[in-house]
Chains A and B, each alone.
Chain A
Amino acid sequence: MSPAESGQVVCSHEGCEAPAGGACALGHASPIDCPESTTTTDIEQSVSIEQEEPARDASEGVPDPPEPSGVALRSGVSLTVDKGNQLSNSKGASFILPVGPIEAGKTTFLIELYAQFVKEIRDDRTFAGSETLLDFELLAFPSRIRSGNTIPETWRTRLQDSGQPLLHLAVGQAKRISHLLLGNYSGELFEHICDRGNALRELPLLASCNRLLVFVDGGKVAKGGTRTSAVSRTRQFIGVLSEEKPLPAGCKIGLVLAKLDEVEKAGPAAVEAWASEESLLLEKLGALGHEAKPFRIAARPLGSAAVDQQIDDLVGWLLEEDRLASHDVPIQPDPTRAYETYRSN
């Protein structure tokens, strides 16, 4: 490139004659090779880029994307709290809130609740629709053969960060359709409550639930080393419930030991140890003034009728008719508001 092509030479070296067409003061054959020189074209380009960059970032002048064509369908994905309230107001719904540590089996239970209807037609209850069908399917996918069963556990927790925490399932039973809104929350929130209290700040929907399911990880109960901490966490959570009283009147509490198969596999001593802890925890739950009931489930059935029966009992309990009317206790979208409501009461 010659100086003529690249524009007029400008040099920062004092006394250099190259800009005037003379020799480079530092001895370069061509002034444009000198690190102290530049050309007006370079400067113009530099200025030009600086001017253009903001224009690229700005939305001015960029045409809006075309409006999507066609008639909008419902998304089929998890519901926001507002959407849950709308559904509850129009159809009436029970709000069920599973809580427990990370990987205690909460999401697996929600999937089983849906998957029982995908598998077969039951005599006692039937699938009557879901506004969150696609997210149920997304959650169920890792347990399907087609997935290849190589999908990490994080698959199931993705929805918990979406700001849309509610799954919906309509269940027909005795010529009546019950709408269930199922909270799908991360176990981290439970652990925060165990650590620091402030239950309604962490989980505002505690103030609205008709059924609270407190999950205990059977995998940890099965081992002596982790049993104490698993039970301790649950005890701390119950302690917070006892002191802060976030639950609405009439809410029933299920104490759910998940992964029962792992406890049974560990032997009779583990089963007996849990029976003892379960009894003590139920006593504490009963003292809250809410009806409490124990369940032991294995969401990955061993082919044991007894195990399936436990899940059936739990689902039947969720569908009992003595739920609160949904409009009595709206699901609270705003944690602060929920907390203030609780404080003012």
Chain B
Amino acid sequence: MASESKTLCMVGLPNTGKTTFLTAFFVATENGEGKVKITRYSDGDREHLNKMMERLAECEEVIRTSEQEPKELRLMVSVEDGPEERLVVPDMSGELVERGMASRRLNDEFAGLTIESGSVLMFLRADRLVAADPVQDFSALMRLVDSEADGAEGEAPATPDDWEIGVAPTQVRLVDVVQELLHLRNDKPLRLGLIISAWDQTSGELSPRDWVVESLPLLVQLLDALPTVTWTVFGVSAQGGTFETKKDREDLEDVELLNRPIVKGRDGSASTVLAPVCWALEM
């Protein structure tokens, strides 16, 4: 019988790597890598996770979670051969967050989850940041002109009435999410792990902490200023690389699925795909 149930909330805008991360975590626990091991298979439904695992193994991107069919990871595990625990990680669609923040109404189930769970992993993609470059910054302007897409959604609005939060810089959207999560929780303490997905797409010169200081200063200031928030950051490439070209896929196919994820801790030290979940849940 499980001694305790631990629930972790994953938050992120669409296509920020939540499902891929969850699949990589499942692969690691199922293979008994590290300190978290599955203790029972008769509990829960792993069909979705197994399908996603097979897609990753074949170097195919995981299917994004739909709003209509939220999935979850539900495992009976033990940590370092300790007592059995039920680990629940709902995999809610990023569209729920995106639409909720735009309409200022958050899906009931999702809101309930954020209120109940004291642990959150918040996802963003390193390669899809919308920056807050001021007009005066001509080098940033040149970078924008050179890039095919800046990650922002839709056309730039022409009038104030057309403006919506979707065109705001990524860090502002995340600040908005954090502020509202804390408000919903009545400022109860929160452990927040920031997951920078597609970490392999960064230059690799900065540690995850230094990267967020440089790329998301507004969010870092907020998290540092709030006494109720304990936070850290991980750089994660759950796929281990991109699946964009045939060469990319061929290179990764030779690497065992278990060994593909690249995870860096806050200071840039090598870590594992288990670490963010263990940190968030204090396991």
A interface residue numbers (CB < 8 A to B)? 68-76, 115, 117-121, 126-131, 133-134, 137-138, 140-141, 143-149, 151, 155, 158-159, 170, 172, 177, 300-301
The contact of A70 among B100, B133, B152, by CB within 8 Å, is B100
The contact of B134 among A76, A119, A148, A172, by CB within 8 Å, is A119
Decide: A72 and B105 in contact? CB cutoff 8 A: yes
Q: Which residue of A lies closest to B114 (CB)?
A: A71
Q: How far is the CB of A176 from chain B (nearest CB, A)?
A: 10
Decide: B179 and A133 in contact? CB cutoff 8 A: yes
A70-B100, A146-B156, A300-B136 in contact; A126/B108 too (CB < 8 A)? Answer: no
Give the docked Cα–Cα distance between A118 and B167 (Å).
15
A69-B108, A129-B225, A134-B165 in contact; A118/B132 too (CB < 8 A)? Answer: yes
Decide: A121 and B220 in contact? CB cutoff 8 A: yes
Give the docked Cα–Cα distance between A119 and B140 (Å).
13
Decide: A128 and B176 in contact? CB cutoff 8 A: no
Which residues of chain A have C-beta atoms less than 8 A from B206's C-beta? none
Decide: B218 and A117 in contact? CB cutoff 8 A: yes
Q: Which residue of B lies closest to A149 (CB)?
A: B135
Decide: B225 and A145 in contact? CB cutoff 8 A: no
Give the docked Cα–Cα distance between A115 and B168 (Å).
13
Which residues of chain A have C-beta atoms less than 8 A from B224's C-beta? 126
Which residues of chain B have C-beta atoms less than 8 A from A301's C-beta? 136
| Contacts A/B (CB < 8 Å), 22 sampled | A70-B106, A73-B105, A75-B104, A115-B134, A121-B213, A121-B217, A121-B220, A127-B225, A128-B226, A129-B179, A133-B179, A137-B169, A141-B163, A141-B167, A143-B135, A144-B135, A144-B169, A145-B140, A146-B144, A146-B167, A155-B160, A301-B136
Decide: A73 and B107 in contact? CB cutoff 8 A: no
Task: Flag whether B88 is at the interface (Cβ < 8 A).
Answer: no
Residues 78-117 of chain B, each 1 if its beta carbon lies under 8 Å from chain A, else 0? 0000000000000000000000110111111001000000
Which residues of chain B have C-beta atoms less than 8 A from A119's C-beta? 132, 134, 217
Q: Which of B173-227 contact A (CB under 8 A)?
A: 175-176, 179-180, 183-184, 213, 217-218, 220-222, 224-226
Q: How far is the CB of A26 from chain B (nearest CB, A)?
A: 57
Task: Flag whether B255 is at the interface (Cβ < 8 A).
Answer: no
For the A-B complex with A73-B105, A131-B179, A145-B141 known, give 16 more contacts whose Cβ atoms are closer than 8 Å: A70-B108, A70-B111, A73-B101, A73-B104, A73-B184, A74-B104, A118-B217, A121-B217, A127-B221, A128-B226, A134-B176, A137-B165, A137-B168, A141-B163, A145-B140, A151-B158
Q: Which of B133-168 contact A (CB under 8 A)?
A: 133-137, 140-141, 144, 150, 152, 156-160, 163, 165, 167-168
The contact of A128 among B130, B217, B222, by CB within 8 Å, is B222
B interface residue numbers (CB < 8 A to A)? 100-101, 103-108, 111, 130, 132-137, 140-141, 144, 150, 152, 156-160, 163, 165, 167-169, 171-172, 175-176, 179-180, 183-184, 213, 217-218, 220-222, 224-226
A71-B105, A76-B104, A118-B172 in contact; A144/B132 too (CB < 8 A)? Answer: yes
Which residues of chain A have C-beta atoms less than 8 A from B225's C-beta? 126-129, 170, 172, 177
Decide: B105 and A146 in contact? CB cutoff 8 A: no
A119-B132, A133-B172 in contact; A73/B167 too (CB < 8 A)? Answer: no
Q: Which residue of B lies closest to A76 (CB)?
A: B176
A74-B183, A129-B225 in contact; A118/B218 too (CB < 8 A)? Answer: yes
The 6 tightest CB contacts between A and B, nearest first, are A70-B105, A71-B111, A128-B225, A127-B221, A126-B221, A172-B225
Which of B101, B108, B111, B135 has the most chain A CB atoms closer than 10 A to its own CB? B135
A74-B180, A76-B176, A145-B144 in contact; A117/B132 too (CB < 8 A)? Answer: no
Which of B107, B134, B144, B175 has the most chain A CB atoms closer than 10 A to its own CB? B134
A126-B221, A137-B168 in contact; A144/B105 too (CB < 8 A)? Answer: no
Give the docked Cα–Cα distance between A145 and B136 (Å).
8
Which residues of chain A have C-beta atoms less than 8 A from B158's C-beta? 151
A138-B160, A145-B140 in contact; A71/B106 too (CB < 8 A)? Answer: yes
Which residues of chain B have C-beta atoms less than 8 A from A148's C-beta? 156
Which residues of chain A have C-beta atoms less than 8 A from B226's C-beta? 128-129
Decide: A146 and B152 in contact? CB cutoff 8 A: yes
Which of B167, B180, B221 has the most chain A CB atoms closer than 10 A to its own CB? B221
Give the docked Cα–Cα distance between A121 and B172 (Å).
14
Decide: A145 and B221 in contact? CB cutoff 8 A: no
Decide: A73 and B180 in contact? CB cutoff 8 A: yes
The contact of A133 among B136, B176, B217, by CB within 8 Å, is B176
Give the docked Cα–Cα distance between A172 and B226 (Å).
10
Give the docked Cα–Cα distance between A115 and B218 (Å).
9
Which residues of chain A have C-beta atoms less than 8 A from B167's C-beta? 141, 146
Which residues of chain B have C-beta atoms less than 8 A from A70's C-beta? 100, 103, 105-108, 111
Which residues of chain A have C-beta atoms less than 8 A from B160's C-beta? 138, 155, 158-159
Decide: A145 and B137 in contact? CB cutoff 8 A: yes
Decide: B222 and A127 in contact? CB cutoff 8 A: yes
Give the docked Cα–Cα distance between A145 and B54 (Å).
42
